[in-house]
A and B are shown apart, each in its own frame.
Chain A
Amino acid sequence: QSELTQPPSVSGAPGQRVTISCTGSSSNLGAGYAVHWYLQLPGTAPKLLIYANSNRPSGVPDRFSGSKSGTSASLAITGLQAEDEADYYCQSYDTSLRASVFGGGTKLTVL
């Protein structure tokens, strides 16, 4: 059982907007620790998509955006494209565990 909770799957048609939620607790997101998001294509390593709640690394399109409030965070993807079909993970730090923690992952299907 992951410390951060994500929906197992989401889907959307090309061009649409989808959001992926990430729910934590008072020892991670609620304690003020940042959330980070990764995209993982099959057979490849995760790639950093959003860091520190809402910042995009160089090269990540502005179709991807992140937000955080209290014990929850979300990743939004606008103008959905076929290449966005992948697994998405959120990650934060848990002060009780003194460890990085990941969500269970969300599979995005582009219809």
Chain B
Amino acid sequence: QVTLKESGPALVKPTQTLTLTCTFSGFSLNTGGMRISWIRQPPGKALEWLARIDWDDDKFYSTSLKTRLTISKDTSKNQVVLTMTNIDPVDTATYFCARLADSGAHDYWGQGALVTVSS
């Protein structure tokens, strides 16, 4: 059974660094072809893809956010971590992690973590 769950602070102050953790089970990021994405959704708005990490440690970032994002994995803990620097109120959103299947579809999603940026 594949599950993913996001964790991190619910409230962050502007200019701080946000660190989110995706803890997953039911598969291994050591397995060839496995990939995990981070996706966010501001309140009442559309989904926005942020970053992806692959089983071979390849990393990909949103063009508009790449200078602020870092994605990493800890395969021993079955975790993927996303950091976002210089956080701003416009970054207020629900942040999801999701498994990316071979088809290119995100087949399993976490429940999401709402992050509010406010002083």
Contact = CB atoms under 8 A, between A and B. Distances in A.
A98 B103 CA distance: 15
Nearest to B114: A43
Contacts of A92: 104
A89 B46 contact: yes
Contacts of A46: 47, 96, 106, 109
A36 B106 contact: yes
Interface residues of A, number: 27
B106 A48 contact: yes
Contact of A97 (B63, B103, B107): B63
A47 B40 CA distance: 15
A91 B37 CA distance: 13
A36 B103 CA distance: 9
Given A45-B96, A45-B111, A45-B112, A101 B49 contact: yes
A102 B49 contact: yes
A16 to B, nearest CB: 25
Contact of B105 (A2, A45, A91, A98): A91
A91 B46 contact: no
A22 B107 CA distance: 19
A102 B110 CA distance: 17
A87 to B, nearest CB: 9
Interface string B44-55: 001111001000
A51 interface: yes
A48 B107 CA distance: 6
Contacts of A100: 37, 39, 49, 52, 100, 104, 106
Interface of A: 2, 33-34, 36, 38, 44-48, 51-52, 55, 57, 89, 91-93, 97-105
B83 interface: no
A36 B47 CA distance: 13
Contacts of A105: 46-47
Given A102-B49, A104-B46, 12 more contacts: A34-B104, A36-B103, A45-B109, A45-B110, A45-B112, A46-B47, A48-B106, A51-B107, A52-B105, A57-B107, A91-B105, A99-B49
B11 interface: no
